[in-house]
Structure 1
Amino acid sequence: MRILRTLVPAAVAVLVVPGCASTDADPSRTRTPSTSASATASPTSSPAASPDAESSVPAARRAESVVSPQAPRLVVLPSGRRVPVDRVGTTPAGVLDVPADVDNAGWWRGGSRIGDPFGSVLVAAHVDSRTQGLGPFAELLTLEPGTRVVLESSRLRQVFRIDARRLVPQGSLADDSWIFDASGDLRLTLVTCAPPYEPDRGGYQNLAVVTAVPLGPPEDQ
């Protein structure tokens, strides 16, 4: 069963971030659970863009970047596990179209990119699947602050330091816009499902949300 978490990037648009699958779920439509686990989230509330927008960071702000921004293609977790990242949009129902393969993650194309000076680079993946077992993003459930994550595109590479790991309850993300908002300080936001898993209530009840801050500007590979 899947768990869906809704983002509200605009007054009318609704985005669901599916980051996990349960053992009997359809991974392509799974929700990403969340719980508030460590420090209080510091929201960067501001109007967000349509989920289908190529990017919601204003062009004027993008011009401040010293490099030409690029979509991420690979995330290297603290364990060294290399996870391919696909570019994803949303389904007609507003669900983030996370790759069904638990070994792949999805970058929300409505968010920021490597090289953008502001906003959240949102990358989500299923935590498990019935046929594949645990995916690499299950590592998010135990990541500690201070460890490093690397994000790569076809040409750029940027290193991030884990800042916080939080559990966010399933439901609307209207009050948690810091997860996807394309404004505020640049950050990498990694999302997947988190326990408890309750079949009678639809599956995973929380989202594990890991935020990381850049240790420096992106570099050419």
Structure 2
Amino acid sequence: MRTSPSRRRRSWMGALGGSLVLALVTAACASEGPGQDSRTTGVPTPVSSSEPPSTVEPARTGRTAASERVRFRPEQVVLPEGETAVVVRARTVAGELRVPDDIRRVGWWDGSAYAGDPFGATVIAGHVDAPRQGLGYFERLLHIRPGATITLRGEGHRAAYRVVTVDAVFKDALSASSPAFDQRVGHRLVLLTCTGTFDLATRSYDQNLVVTATPLGAAR
């Protein structure tokens, strides 16, 4: 499938914001420098006492906060019936998104959002079919309906999404200004494949199927 007009790509990359990062701040104690004593720092000299010194508990080891945002590069997609496909990195070449030749795999556009990001679209595209390979993995998108759940996995994490819209649009109409790619709103998943009528002259379909899904909670 060749579904990536250059107009569509440029604004996505410019609009994608950085992910939300939660910083864990710890306090540090400064030791006295050489030549300093209690007189120069204004701290009184301790008085000897027969009482044993108090026991100080050792500092606890810091752990990652439960509220820290998880974001990851998609490595596998799971459609509602449980069918899975490997997700590989897909780049744009001469303004065209190059999805995997193997129709059993799909491509994550490396200029789009990571799964779990607070903003932007995570864009995954794949072939609907191929002359010598038959039906592709994303042929299943032709039968998907709103309300279905799609899961992304990668780097030991997972993120679930609920399908909200399934639209067929002519390729010329699918531009960077399309609502599916609006980077000013919350995070979403966008799946792309071909549909419509096959043109023998151009060897391609005249429409794209756009499946948009919103997160079911935070990635974990």
TM-score (norm 2): 0.72
Aligned to 1:87: 89
Alignment of 1:15-54 (within 5 A): 47-49=11-13
Separation (CA, whole Å) in 2 of partners of 1:95 and 1:171: 14
Whole-angstrom distance in 1 between the partners of 2:132 and 2:207? 22
Q: For residues 89-108 of structure 1, what are the structure 2 equivalents within 5 Å?
A: 89-91=91-93, 93-108=94-109
Q: 1:63 to 1:177 in 2, by over 3 A?
A: farther
Provide the residue aligned with 1:121 in structure 2: 122
SS of the equivalent of 1:62 reads coil
Kindly name which structure, 1 or 2, has the bigger radius of gyration based on alpha carbons.
2
- 1:166 match: secondary structure: strand
Partner Cα separation in structure 2 for residue 7 and residue 214 of structure 1: 27
Q: Secondary structure at the match of 1:206?
A: strand
Counterpart contact for 1:3–1:170, Cα < 8 Å: no
The match for 1:146 is: 147
- Say yes or no: does 1:62 pair with 2:20: yes
Shift of 1:169: 0.2
Q: Which runs of 5+ in 2 are unaligned?
A: 23-66
State the aligned residue count: 176
Offset, 1:191:
0.4
Q: RCO higher in 1 or 2 (8 Å CA, sep ≥ 6)?
A: 1
Deviation at residue 83 of structure 1 after TM alignment: 0.8
Q: For 1:89-142, what per-residue CA distance to the aligned partner results, in whole angstroms no more than 9, with x for missing partners?
A: 111x11111111000000011111112111100000011111210011001111
Deviation sequence 1:61-96 (CA, Å, 0-9, x none): 5326932421100000112110100011111x1111
Distance (Å, rounded) in 2 between the aligned partners of 1:181 and 1:208: 17
User: CA 1:9–1:155 in 2, change beyond 3 Å: closer, same or farther?
Assistant: same
Kept in 2, the 8 Å contact 1:4–1:171? The answer is no
Letter in 1 for 2:132: T
SS at match of 1:189: strand
Give the distance between the partners of 2:83 and 2:119, measured in 1 at CA: 27
Percent identity between the two aligned chains: 34
Structure 1 residue 177 displacement after superposition: 3.7
Equivalent residue, structure 2, for 1:75: 77
Q: In 2 relative to 1, CA 202–132 (structure 1 residues): closer, same or farther, beyond 3 Å?
A: closer
Residue 172 of structure 1, CA deviation? 5.6
User: Compared with structure 1, are the counterparts of its residues 172 and 163 closer, same or farther at alpha carbon in structure 2 (3 Å cutoff)?
Assistant: closer
| 2:5 corresponds to | 6
Q: Is the 8 A contact 1:7 1:172 kept in 2?
A: no
Matched with 1:174 is 175
CA distance in 2, matches of 1:74, 1:175: 25
Q: Is the 8 A contact 2:147 2:163 kept in 1?
A: yes
Paired residue secondary structure (2:87): strand
| Counterpart secondary structure, 1:200 | coil
CA distance in 1, matches of 2:146, 2:215: 13
Are the counterparts in 1 of residues 195 and 208 from structure 2 also a CA contact under 8 Å? yes
Q: CA deviation at 1:57?
A: 3.0
Cα distance in structure 1, aligned partners of 2:202 and 2:136: 22
Aligned counterpart, 2:58: none
Distance in 2 between residues matched to 1:130 and 1:68, nearest whole Å:
39
Q: Distance in 2 between matches of 1:172 and 1:3?
A: 15
